[in-house]
Amino acid sequence: MHVYLDNAATTPLDREVYETMTTFMLEHFGNPSSIHSHGSKVRAAIEQARKKIALTFNTSPSEIFFTSGGTESDNTAIRCAIQTHGIRHAITSQLEHHAVLHTLEELAKQNVIRLSILRHDAQGNVDLNHLEELLQANPNSLVSLMHGNNEIGNILPIETVGELCEQYGAFFHSDTVQTVGHYRIDLQKIKVHSIVGAPHKFHGPKGIGFLYVRNDKKIQPLITGGAQERNMRGGTENVYGIVGMAKAIELTYKQLDVYANYIKGLKAYMIERLKATFDDVQFNGTSGDINNSLYTVLNVSFPPSEANDMLLFNLDIHRISASGGSACSSGSSIGSHVLAALPNTTSRGNVRFSFSKYNTKEEIDYTIAKLGEIFQMQTA
C-alpha cells in the first residue's frame, strides 16, 4: 500500500480535469491573442473559464485575473497594492505562508514599508484587538492574513477582519489558497480586496492560479510586456491550465458538501486512532478541532522520542507520504517557521497529515499501524 497524506502540498489531478486540458493541448492550440478562428476559439474558452470562476465566488469576471499560482498572486496583490495606493505600512503575522511573509519582509528591508507583526496566542490565533490597535495608529495600511493556515489548520475570522479593515481604511488581502476549493466563499459578503486560488490544492493542475482584485481597489500589474488579462499580466496565457482550473472548480463545488463531510470523517477517525495508540499525542494549532479548523489538515505532535529524528524518513520507507510543514520549504534544514512561532513544539515530533476525497479509512489504519511500529522500535 502507498498512502498519500500530503494533500495540502498538492493533490492528484482529477481525470475529468485532465481530459478537459488535453483537448486544449492537442486540438485547440491557437494563441488567444490571435484574431483568426484558431485564436478566437481559445479566447472564448478563457473567458468562459473566467465567468465560471467569478460565478462560483459571486463576483464579476472583470475582477478575476489568471496567474501562475498562489505565490505570484500573493506577490502581485501585495507589491502592486502598496505601489498603486501609496501604502507605507503593512500588517501580517509570523504564521503566514512565505509568499506573503518573505515579500513583506523584503519590502520592509528596502524601506518601502514599515511592517508590524500581529500577536497570536499559543494555538496560533491572531490577536484581533492588536490588529485594531495597529489599524488605528496606522491609516492606509495593508493587511495580509491567510484565511486557512496550511500547516496548523487555523481559520481566520475573515468577516471580522474585513470589517476592521473597512472601518480603518486598510487594503485587506487574504491568502485563500487552502480554502478555495474547500469552502464556499461569497465575495459579496466578505469585505476583502484581494484573494487567491491555486487549483492543484483541489485536484486541478499546477502552474496556474487566479487573483481576485475588487474593482474599487484596482492595482497596477506586476508583470508587463503584453496586453493579456486586460493589461494586468503580460505573457501568453496558460490556456490548458486555465480551462483545467475552471473544470476543477466546477467539479469541486458541485459536490463540495459531500467531499467535506467525507474528509471530516477521515480526520476525526485519525484523531481517534492516534489518541487510542499514543500517550501524550497532541495537535498543533487548532487542527485537532474538527469544527474549527481546516478539515483537510491535521498537524500531529508526538511526544519526545528518538523516533522523531527520522520520523518523516521512516514514514516514507513505509510508503506513507506526509510532511513536516509547508511543501515550499521541503529540502530545507530549517524547521517550520509556523511551528517555531508556537510554544512547546520544537522538542516534539511534528507531522502534517492532510487529506483528500481519495483517501480511505484503510489508509489511516495502515498509517497508524506503521507509526506504532516506528515508535515501538525506538523503545524496544
Whole-number Å distance between alpha carbons of 239 and 34: 13
Strand 89-92 versus strand 142-144 pairing type:
parallel
Q: Point out the residues that are catalytic.
A: 328
Q: Which three three-digit cell numbers place residue 263?
A: 474528509
Query: Residue with C-alpha cell 499525542?
Result: 281
CA distances from 174 to 140, 191, 192, 365 (A): 17, 11, 7, 36
Whole-number Å distance between alpha carbons of 308 and 348: 7
